[in-house]
Amino acid sequence: MIREFRLFLNPVDGLEKWLNRKAKEGLRLSKVQRCIYEFERCKPGQYQYAVDYIGNKSDAERKEYESLLDEIGIRYFEKPLNLGQFAVGKIQYRPYANKGGKWATSRGMINRELLILEKKNDGKPLSVYTNIEDKIAALRERRKPLFYLIVFVLLMGLYVFFFGRPLYNISILGTWISSSLGTVILWILLGVICAISIVRTVQISLSIKSLKEKRNILE
């Protein structure tokens, strides 16, 4: 068994390309945690992977989707992607989700925002979307939580700016750090999160624009 730690700036397309590259090297995904992936040996190119974002769906929609995958023989792994949502205990509010999916629980959609799909390589591509319109719609859904995350970061930044301290005390390795140092650390974290979110939003928007242009040419 081979275990690897991996982070992705693009948690959908980046993860999909990486898994397919691993499959070509003769590694099949066997287990997924947050950032840790376990592989087992297989024949090079024996499997194909696709990654689908389902964080906008309700728990009932997820179960229906997974039942369909079971019927057509597609193996899948559930993976967390926590963006643009607000948590109270074991309940999360997702303002961008579909009707019925705005409130997520630990027994429902929490930590099930991504589905990694796997099938044996039969020469046909493993594609989540059947046409350009579906792909555009999916990209728009993936962009929504980024908007909310950017707004949340900006509001947090305004709070720190006006009150001069973090909303929460910060502890590193069990040691509470000073308010001034905590503020600096928080500013850095907010800046990094905001920058990454803006970059991803722009990338997705450009992809949508490109698909629209392709659609217009085909029409």
Residue 136, pLDDT above cutoff 70: yes
CA 123 from centroid of its chain's CA atoms:
28
Domain's final residue, options 93, 120, 147: 120
- Report the percent of the chain where pLDDT is more than 70: 86
Residue 217, pLDDT above cutoff 70: yes
**pLDDT score, position 152:** 86
> Are 112 and 180 part of one and the same domain?
no
The overall average pLDDT reported for the chain is: 85
| Side-chain-facing half-sphere of 207: CA atoms under 13 Å | 19
Which tens digits make up the pLDDT trace of 76-87?
A: 999 988 665 555
Is 125 within the bounds of a domain?
no
Band (pLDDT 50/70/90 cuts) for residue 88 is low
Indicate the length of the chain as a whole number: 219
- Choice between 134 and 179, residue whose per-residue pLDDT is larger: 134
> Are 88 and 180 part of one and the same domain?
no
Domain's final residue, options 88, 120, 152: 120
> Are 105 and 43 part of one and the same domain?
yes
- Residue located via tokens 């229906």: 64
Domain hosting residue 32, numbered range:
2-120
Q: What pTM, to 2 d.p., does this model score?
A: 0.81
Is 23 within the bounds of a domain?
yes
